[in-house]
Amino acid sequence: MEYAPRDIEPKWRSWWKAQRTYEVSNDTRKPKFYILNMFPYPSGAGLHVGHPLGYIASDIVARYKRLNGFNVLNPMGYDSFGLPAEQYAIQTGIHPAVSTDQNIKRYREQLDNIGFSFDWSREVRTSDPAYYKWTQWIFMQLYNHYFDQEAGKALPVSGLVERFGQHGNAGLRAACDDDTPSFSAADWNAMSDNEQQLLLLKYRLTFPEESYVNWCPALGTVLSNDEVKDGVSERGGYPVERKLMKQWSMRITAYADRLLAGLDEIDWSESIKEQQRYWIGRSQGASVRFAVDGHDGASIEVFTTRVDTIYGATFMVLAPEHELVARLTTAAQRSEIDSYIKWTASRSDIERMAEAKKVTGAFTGAFAVNPFNGAKIPIYIADYVLAGYGTGAVMAVPSGDQRDWNFAKHFQLPIVPILDAQQNLDEAADPTKEGRYINSGLINGMDYEQAVATLTQWLEQQGLGKGKVQYKLRNAVFSRQRYWGEPVPAYWKDGVPHLIEEQDLPLVLPAVDKYLPTETGEPPLARADGWRYSPEGSDAIGYEYELSTMPGWAGSSWYFYRYMDPHNTEEFCSASAAAYWNSVDWYIGGSEHAVGHLLYSRFWNHFLYDTGRVPEREFAKKLTNQGMIQGRSSFAFRAKERFFEEYLWIKVLQPFFAELGPLAIPSSNLEESYTYDFAFETNDLVIEVTSWKQTDKIEAIRQAAEADGKRLLVLYNEELIENINQHEITAAKVRHALNSRERFFMSKETPAAEQLFVSLDLTSKYSTDCFSKLHVDISMVNDDVLDMDKAVYWPLFEKAGFKLNAEGRFTCSSEVEKMSKSKYNVVNPDDMVEQYGADCFRMYEMFLGPVEMSKPWDTKGITGVYGFLRKFWGMFVGEAGQWIVSDDAPTPDELRVLHTCIKKVTDDIERFSMNTCVSHFMILTNDLRTQKSSKRAILEPALVMLAPFAPHLAEELWHRMGHETTVCDASWPAFNAEYLKSDSIAYPVQINGKHRGNVEVASTASNADIEALVMAQEFVQRNLNGQPVKKFIVVPGRIVNIVA
RNA sequence: GCCCGGGUGGUGGAAUGGUAGACACGCAGGACUUAAAAUCCUGUGACCGUAGAGGUCGUACGGGUUCGAGUCCCGUCCCGGGCACCA
């Protein structure tokens, strides 16, 4: 009986469901293993073949670990808040919860089809109030904590209040806003309750603050930096402006040091760690205050990583947006500064990038005073200094910094060497730290270490600066002006935020009439009736809730804990569940989340760890990035107006021109230069090519022709289309008009075709602006040839004509790009599963190549995997459907084949090399079939090994073998090296590193035996050709190399 | 410009410093068939060669280390991804 996945797969899927095969208990003595996939956003497009790649690989690991005696947590859920559902709601009025629910159903069906071992009883959805109750709860914990630098961790704000009442904030080392004032206990106690609350916000780990955001008026929302591309929104391409808004913010900067240090503890890919390090951007240096000459009280603070170069600072540069610029600019320089500021404001990011090498700037007319030597140095502004980074000011040291050097050269500012080891300062800056300082007052003669210590100490004594560590990392904006997200559990009273009571959680999203911002620009939640909170003791009207919602990363920052204890109504996760599952052992997902999700999650996890709620500082021990599956897109070329002119010129009119002489030929500026498209020297006919819909144009040309005394032939594009594959017909029309005496020729019939597509291989004859390149659904294209029968039903090809190639076929071009519905290159797993079965689909996805690498999807090779599964099945079940597995004792050869496979597959799963596992199974099957072997002692272990890859087939054959419980609970076969031993070893023999032949040697042979045997070989002597042997190398079990 | 990947047959890819190209696709030839499909068998890096003898070249390019390099080191080029005047 043939292998029939269509019969066996649904059967076992429902059996697993009935048996609850994949439900996992928290209560077991078994060692645990927690494997996790990044959960998907359930988009309306459904699952495509790229999604399951990581899921299949992790499912194999999950099943493998289970076979090895682990209690495996392999959960799945949905990151179900998100913008697409909201956009859809705006367009259709359908509540995002409804469309999200539908999308999830579809995802679930597709996922179920592939036979994953997910424990669906633990599914989570971030948009479920029972889930986001705890997202809100964690938000409240963050609000109620501050980061104490002394303790190196988060502590309750209640402790802070107590401390303020007794000591003020003197001596407190805590993460806080830069503008936090110093105050005494008396100051504190004299404050009103509101004033105290506002001050506490400067310490809380989440807090509202005015911050610049990327505001997109068209979308009515705030976008993150990575949602903005080239100054417009990535989605929709709407303009984005910088706007100051009150936003909730997360004080992630408090954890910068720990987030950086934690990277050393975890087995994540180096590229992700590097990206996070860069994002955190720690730099150690000093802040120095420069007085401004003639402006008492004004000072400019700079941060420098090279305080040792301060004597070489010959000018200062401020960002154009720096707050002091207006004040410092002298009357004489004002117009220059104003025009520079105006110019920089007009420059797009792209321009700034493109001209990165160009030096621009303007002098303010003011001078700063170097605190060390009192030197007055000019203050410039330039847009290479960023307002948002550091203090927005740099002390420029042209001898040590190339950018400063360029600037100094351009504005003819002095370049002062400060180290005796600096070289060639005429040509470039030299950033060395070697040598001894010169021209450097206090530190002359010192080396780098001494200089930094001396200068920093001096600055601190003088109160002019201090050693400082600075991070690029900014606090994370946490508000979104959107509807479809978690409501923030806070309300506003007299301009001060307050949390709602814990017992009132979850704060459920209210109904709104529309999902758009209000007319006054408030977020959609402002539309909700009665969106107010009435705490105990307040009047019935209550206070307005926060109107913004949480960002997408809120719910995904802790979901890995919810899977451990998904139905807990008392806690986000019980201590016992967290203690058992501990943290994620292996996390798998795309690298695009490197600094979004993966950094914010680590931040929340550090916080939860500080408050004693989770057992580990880092939530995932190991992380692997799966590569992207790219799609192969197909494109058809649609003719533009210009094509028809070129077509007439090339295919139809050439002979006529040869005869009658061309007067006008098409060119790109044809319409302006010539009245008609074509005219002849010796015939009074003129030709116009245009669409039949252009009646006004045709009439105008007709009048012009009459006035000129020309006879006019109008050829419709549409009539050319109808005869596009037989240009003789058009030629005949031209011939007829040329020879006629009539004045005006125009087709009377209304053409049926409206657009023309041109086969790829014909397009090269025409100029490139003759065509638009349009995506064609890949289901209609086979080997770049368009299936015309299918194409006619496709909306793109409505009323279309096709110019076919010489073989009468229509070809398309193709490109590899990201798989996406809008590119019509999506391959849906359902079709593959339908045709070949889930097991085959799973194995083929693995067989494509290493999981971590991106690769284009190509279905061609799937028949190879299908053939393998049929052969494997065929070792158990005969052609007539009879069971052909015997209980005979296996031969040493069969055992050797089996154990080779056990070893390789075991090793390769551990190192996530699934493609080679599939190869090993193929080799095993090919070997056993050659030996006509069907013995239970061999096939049963092989079947268990195959089970993680092809679970349905394995379950079927496992039961046919007489087992009643699931193959998932079998035991992974143990490798026995004994079976691999053989009596002889075939040594490859190299002479001077070149392979010359093989020699079969007894495995017991000594090196001397081997040498004697090898030297006796005819091919060895022949290749040595009489040369003396200098060295004879035997690598035991591997190779022999003779050096001559 | 900086950081991280990667570059191996017609294609996807394999190879703890030890016979480069496993496994699969595709292609070619053959078997079965009236024929086709399916299936099975054989061959398949390039080149030279009278062969299934034998040989030369070959893992982006140029050097190096080594008995031996796709793999390690130095330099160059190209492709992909990320960041971008970060003081």
pLDDT score recorded for residue A669? 41
Structure-derived torsion over alpha carbons of residues A660, A663, A666, A672, reported in degrees to the nearest 10? -160
Nearest nucleotide from residue A351 CA, by C1' atom:
B85
| Higher-scoring residue by pLDDT: A682, A166 | A166
Nearest by Cα to A724 from A697, A753, A746, A704? A753
Confidence bin at A777 (pLDDT 50/70/90)? confident
| pLDDT per position as a tens digit, A539-587 | 778 899 999 999 888 999 999 999 999 999 999 999 999 999 999 999 9
- Strand order in A241-250's β-sheet? A221-223, A206-216, A241-250, A476-477
pLDDT score recorded for residue A230? 55
pLDDT score recorded for residue A90? 87
Measured between alpha carbons, how far is A521 from A517 in angstroms, rounded to an integer? Answer: 6
Mean model confidence pLDDT for chain A:
86
CB A948 within 8 A of CB A60: yes
pLDDT score recorded for residue A668? 44
pLDDT score recorded for residue A490? 95
CA of A848 to C1' of B19 (A): 26
CB A433 within 8 A of CB A401: no
Phi-psi region of A390 (alpha: psi -120 to 50; beta: other; left: phi over 0): left
Structure-derived torsion over alpha carbons of residues A976, A977, A980, A986, reported in degrees to the nearest 10? 170
Nearest nucleotide from residue A919 CA, by C1' atom:
B23
Name the residue closest to the C1' of B16 by its CA. Answer: A907
| pLDDT per position as a tens digit, A948-974 | 999 999 999 999 999 999 999 999 999
Nearest nucleotide from residue A1039 CA, by C1' atom:
B18
Does residue A234 carry a pLDDT above 70? no
CA of A269 to C1' of B38 (A): 46
H or E element, residue A1030: none
Angle between helix A936-946 and helix A951-960 axes, rounded to 10 deg: 150
Distances (CA, A) of A803 to A649, A755, A762, A920: 16, 11, 8, 49
Nearest by Cα to A288 from A172, A148, A391, A402? A391
Strand B bases near protein CB (under 7 Å) are 3-5, 11-16, 18-20, 22-26, 39-40, 54-56, 67-69, 80-87
Nearby residues of A503 by Cβ (< 8 Å), 6 or more positions away = none
pLDDT score recorded for residue A139? 97
Structure tokens at A850: 């290493």
CA of A919 to C1' of B21 (A): 15
Measured between alpha carbons, how far is A488 from A492 in angstroms, rounded to an integer? Answer: 11
pLDDT score recorded for residue A94? 93
**Coil vs helix vs strand at A183:** coil
Nearest nucleotide from residue A859 CA, by C1' atom:
B25
CA of A875 to C1' of B41 (A): 19
| pLDDT per position as a tens digit, A580-612 | 999 999 999 887 777 788 899 999 999 999 999
Which stretch, A95-104, A412-421, A637-646, has highest mean pLDDT? Answer: A95-104
Does residue A816 carry a pLDDT above 50? yes
Nearby residues of A666 by Cβ (< 8 Å), 6 or more positions away = A642, A645, A646, A648, A649, A677, A678
Nearest nucleotide from residue A922 CA, by C1' atom:
B23
| pLDDT per position as a tens digit, A40-82 | 889 887 888 888 889 999 999 999 999 999 999 999 999 999 8
pLDDT score recorded for residue A449? 84
Confidence bin at A232 (pLDDT 50/70/90)? low
Does residue A674 carry a pLDDT above 70? no
H or E element, residue A348: none
CA of A1022 to C1' of B50 (A): 21
Nearest nucleotide from residue A923 CA, by C1' atom:
B23
Length of chain A as a residue count: 1044
Name the residue closest to the C1' of B22 by its CA. Answer: A919
pLDDT score recorded for residue A161? 95
Nearest by Cα to A566 from A130, A140, A38? A130
**Coil vs helix vs strand at A828:** coil
% chain A with pLDDT above 70: 94
Q: What is the pTM of this model?
A: 0.84
pLDDT score recorded for residue A867? 92
CA of A632 to C1' of B24 (A): 20
| pLDDT per position as a tens digit, A351-385 | 554 555 677 888 999 999 998 888 899 999 988 88
| pLDDT per position as a tens digit, A113-128 | 999 999 999 999 999 9
Nearby residues of A587 by Cβ (< 8 Å), 6 or more positions away = A35, A36, A37, A38, A560, A620, A622, A623, A624
Distances (CA, A) of A715 to A650, A690, A691, A882, A944: 15, 7, 8, 72, 72
What are the DSSP E strand ranges found in A278-410? 282-292, 295-304, 315-318, 362-369, 376-381, 393-396
Q: For residue A899, how far is the Cα from the chain centroid?
A: 40
pLDDT score recorded for residue A976? 93
Name the residue closest to the C1' of B4 by its CA. Answer: A271
pLDDT score recorded for residue A975? 94
Measured between alpha carbons, how far is A3 from A873 in angstroms, rounded to an integer? Answer: 6
pLDDT score recorded for residue A670? 43
Measured between alpha carbons, how far is A329 from A445 in angstroms, rounded to an integer? Answer: 38
CA of A994 to C1' of B57 (A): 13
| pLDDT per position as a tens digit, A267-310 | 888 778 888 888 888 888 888 999 998 888 788 889 888 888 89
Name the residue closest to the C1' of B82 by its CA. Answer: A275
pLDDT score recorded for residue A1044? 79
| pLDDT per position as a tens digit, A6-43 | 999 999 999 999 999 999 999 888 999 999 999 988 98
Structure tokens at A195: 């004033």
pLDDT score recorded for residue A235? 60
Instruction: Give the range among A453-462, A523-532, A592-601 with minimum mean pLDDT.
Output: A592-601
State mean pLDDT over A725-729.
Answer: 87
State mean pLDDT over A645-661.
Answer: 83
| pLDDT per position as a tens digit, A180-207 | 899 999 999 999 999 999 999 999 999 9
Instruction: Give the range among A354-363, A611-620, A900-909, A1019-1028 with minimum mean pLDDT.
Output: A354-363
* DSSP assignment letter at A426: T
Which stretch, A374-383, A780-789, A990-999, A1022-1031, has highest mean pLDDT? Answer: A374-383
State mean pLDDT over A613-617.
Answer: 95
CA of A1032 to C1' of B57 (A): 27
Confidence bin at A672 (pLDDT 50/70/90)? very low
| Higher-scoring residue by pLDDT: A140, A752 | A140
Name the residue closest to the C1' of B18 by its CA. Answer: A1039
Does residue A525 carry a pLDDT above 90? yes
Phi-psi region of A981 (alpha: psi -120 to 50; beta: other; left: phi over 0): beta
